[in-house]
C-alpha cells in the first residue's frame, strides 16, 4: 500500500516509524515531513493546510491511505473532501472534528450525555462574562472556543486575572475569531492523563495510557508548551480506572456523537484530570497526542496500519475479533529537546550533534520534530547533517523494564545529543516515581 502521512512533528515521525513496520506498506510519503521522517518516507513539500495540494498529490500518486496527524486540516474538512473523491483517509470528518475545534460544542455534548467535566458557563458577550467572574471564586479557567494552537486556555489564579483573560480573548482578540465565545470553568485540581482510542463509531480499540508534561520547566513551572515529555503507561490508571474512563467518558462521547448523527472515524483523545472527586474531562482532541504518540507506539506490538484501515472501512469489530492487538509490558519515556527560547521566540538552523552515536542502541528511538536534513556533496563525498527547524526539536525515547529504567535510559541518550541552546526537562515521570 502507498501511504501519505500529513504533518511534520514528533507525532508524525512516530506514526511513520510505526507504519513503516507494517507488512502492508510498499511506500510512505509525508507532507511536509521533517528531517527524521525523511529516513523512512519521501517528504513532499506540501503544507498541512493545503488541502487541495494534498488531494492532487493523493490522486496523482495513487495513495491508498492518507493519515492526518494534526487537528487543523481535520477541522478544515480534509476528510470530507477526500471522501468525495473516494480516497481513503484516517481521521474524523469536519463535523466530528468540532469536538476539538469548538470547546463550546464539546462542553455542550459532555453536558448532554452526562460525561464528567468541570462546571462551566458559555459567553459570547465580554460584559456578561466579567459579571459572571465577579460572582465566582478564583481560581478559574478561561478558554477560547476555537482552535488556538494549543494556547487558548488561560488558567487564572485571581478574579482580576480571569477578567484580564476575558479582555485578551474577547476584546483584544489575541486568538482571533477563536475568541468570539469563551468558556469559563471551574479549576480542577489533580493529575492529568491522556487516554487515546481509535474508533469507527461502533467499536473502540484502546491504546495504552500516557501522561504529558505541559510546562516548560521542571516542577511544572513556567508557561504551557505543546508538551515537553511523556511516559506510558501511567501506573495510577489500573485496569479498574481504565474501565471507568471507557465507560463514563469514551463510550458515552462516541455514543453521544452517533446520536447527534455524527459518524466519528479516527483517533479520539481524552485529556483527563484525576481529581479527588473522580475523573473529569479537560478536553477532547480528534487526533493522536504529541508527545504521547511517541511513548505509546513503541509499546504497540501490533500492526497500526491494519487497525487504521479497519477504522476507515468501518470494520473495527472484525479487526477486534482477530485478537491481534498486543502491548509491550515495558515502560516508555520520551524527553523533548527544545530550542532556546521555546515556547516563545526561538532561533532555527543550529546543527544537531550526537544522533549517529545513539542511532543503533536497542530500545532507543529519537523522534524528530523541528528538524531538517541537509545533504551536501563535496567532491563526490556525501555528508548528511541535521539542523534545528522548530521549537520542539527532538523526542528522545527509550523503553525500559521499569519506568525508572526507561527514564534512566532516556536521559543517558539525551546527554549524547547536543545543539546550541538545547534544553529539556530533567523530571519527566516524576509524579509516577514519587508515588512508587
Residues at the contact surface with ligand GLY, assessed by CB under 6 A: 212, 227, 285, 289-290, 292
Residue 21: HSE in the Cβ half-sphere, 13 Å Cα cutoff:
12
Q: Taking Cα atoms as reference points, which of 46, 74, 72 lies closest to residue 58?
A: 46
Question: Does 159 help bind ligand AMP (rule: CB under 6 A)?
Answer: no
* 8 A C-beta contact, residue 207 and residue 268: no
Give me the phi and psi of 434, to 5 degrees please: -60, -40
CB of 246 to ligand AMP, least distance (A): 19
395 part of the interface to ligand AMP, by CB under 6 A? no
Q: Does 188 help bind ligand AMP (rule: CB under 6 A)?
A: yes
Among ligand AMP, ligand GLY, none, the one that 141 touches (CB under a kind-dependent 5 to 8 A) is: ligand AMP
Q: Helix or strand or coil: residue 198?
A: strand
**Residue among 2, 95, 202, 214 that touches ligand AMP (CB under 6 A):** 214
Establish if 185 lies at the interface with ligand AMP (CB under 6 A).
yes
**Which one of the spans 185-193, 360-368, 382-390, 428-436 is the region binding ligand AMP (CB under 6 A)?**
185-193
* Bridge partners, 381 (sequence order): 378
Of 124, 140, 141, 130, the residue nearest 177 (C-alpha): 124
Is residue 239 exposed (0-12), middle (13-18) or buried (19+ Cβ within 10 Å)? exposed
For the bound state, the minimum distance from the C-beta of residue 288 to ligand GLY, rounded and expressed in Å, comes to 7
Cβ-based neighbour number of residue 146 at 10 Å: 19
Q: Which of 167, 191, 192, 306 binds ligand AMP (CB under 6 A)?
A: 192
On the CB side of 98, CA atoms within 13 Å amount to 15
Partner from ligand AMP, ligand GLY, none contacting 188, C-beta within 5 to 8 A by type: ligand AMP
- Residue 191 within binding range of ligand AMP, rule CB under 6 A: no
CA 130 to chain centroid, in Å, comes to 32
Residues near 71 by Cβ (< 8 Å), separated by ≥ 6?
97, 100, 101, 147, 285, 286, 287
Task: Tell me whether residue 88 or residue 368 sits nearer to ligand GLY (CB atom).
Answer: 368
- The contact mask relative to ligand AMP for 268-307 (x = CB under 6 A, - = no) is ---x----------xx------------------------
146 vs 227 by CB, closer to ligand GLY: 227
| Residue 155 binds to ligand AMP (criterion: CB under 6 A) | yes
Amino acid at each position: 500500500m502507498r501511504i501519505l502521512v500529513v504533518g511534520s512533528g514528533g507525532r508524525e515521525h512516530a506514526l511513520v516509524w510505526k507504519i513503516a513496520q507494517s507488512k502492508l506498506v510498499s511506500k510512505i510519503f509525508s507532507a511536509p515531513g521533517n528531517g527524521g521522517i525523511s529516513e523512512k518516507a519521501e517528504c513532499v513539500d506540501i503544507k498541512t493546510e493545503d488541502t487541495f495540494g494534498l488531494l492532487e498529490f493523493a490522486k496523482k500518486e495513487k495513495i491508498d491511505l492518507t493519515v492526518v496527524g494534526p487537528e487543523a486540516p481535520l477541522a478544515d474538512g480534509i476528510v470530507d473532501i477526500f471522501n468525495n473523491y473516494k480516497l481513503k483517509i484516517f481521521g474524523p470528518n469536519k463535523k466530528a472534528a468540532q469536538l476539538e475545534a469548538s470547546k463550546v460544542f464539546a462542553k455542550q455534548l459532555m453536558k448532554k450525555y452526562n460525561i464528567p467535566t468541570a462546571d462551566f458557563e458559555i459567553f459570547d458577550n465580554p460584559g456578561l462574562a466579567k459579571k459572571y467572574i465577579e460572582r465566582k471564586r478564583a481560581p478559574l479557567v478561561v478558554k477560547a472556543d476555537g482552535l488556538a494552537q494549543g494556547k487558548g486556555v488561560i488558567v487564572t489564579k485571581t478574579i482580576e486575572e480571569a477578567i484580564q483573560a476575558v479582555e485578551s480573548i474577547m476584546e483584544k482578540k489575541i486568538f482571533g475569531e477563536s475568541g468570539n465565545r469563551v468558556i469559563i470553568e471551574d479549576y480542577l485540581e489533580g493529575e492529568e492523563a491522556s487516554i487515546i482510542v481509535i474508533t469507527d463509531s461502533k467499536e473502540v480499540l484502546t491504546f495504552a495510557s500516557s501522561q504529558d508534561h505541559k510546562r516548560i520547566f521542571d516542577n511544572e513551572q513556567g508557561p504551557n508548551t505543546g508538551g515537553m515529555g511523556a511516559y506510558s503507561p501511567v501506573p495510577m490508571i489500573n485496569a479498574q480506572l481504565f474501565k471507568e474512563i471507557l465507560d463514563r467518558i469514551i463510550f458515552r462521547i462516541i455514543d453521544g456523537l452517533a446520536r447527534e448523527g455524527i459518524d466519528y472515524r479516527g483517533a479520539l483523545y481524552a485529556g483527563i484530570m484525576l481529581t479527588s472527586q473522580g475523573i473529569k474531562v479537560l478536553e477532547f482532541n480528534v487526533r493522536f497526542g504529541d508527545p504521547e504518540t511517541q511513548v505509546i507506539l513503541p509499546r504497540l506490538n501490533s500492526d497500526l496500519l491494519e487497525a487504521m484501515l479497519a477504522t476507515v472501512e468501518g470494520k473495527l469489530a472484525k479487526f477486534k475479533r482477530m485478537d491481534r492487538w498486543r502491548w509491550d509490558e515495558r515502560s516508555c519515556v520520551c524527553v523533548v529537546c527544545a530550542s532556546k527560547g521555546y515556547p516563545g521566540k526561538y532561533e532555527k538552523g543550529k546543527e544537531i550533534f550526537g544522533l549517529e552515536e545513539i542511532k543503533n542502541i536497542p530500545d532507543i528511538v529519537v523522534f524528530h520534530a523541528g528538524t531538517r536534513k541537509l545533504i551536501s556533496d563535496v567532491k563526490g563525498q556525501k555528508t548528511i547533517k541535521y539542523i534545528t527547524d522548530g521549537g520542539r526539536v527532538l523526542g528522545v525515547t527509550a523503553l525500559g523494564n521499569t519506568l525508572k529504567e526507561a527514564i534512566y535510559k532516556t536521559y543517558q541518550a539525551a546527554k549524547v545529543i547536543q545543539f546550541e541552546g538545547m534544553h529539556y526537562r530533567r523530571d519527566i515521570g516524576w509524579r509516577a516515581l514519587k508515588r512508587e
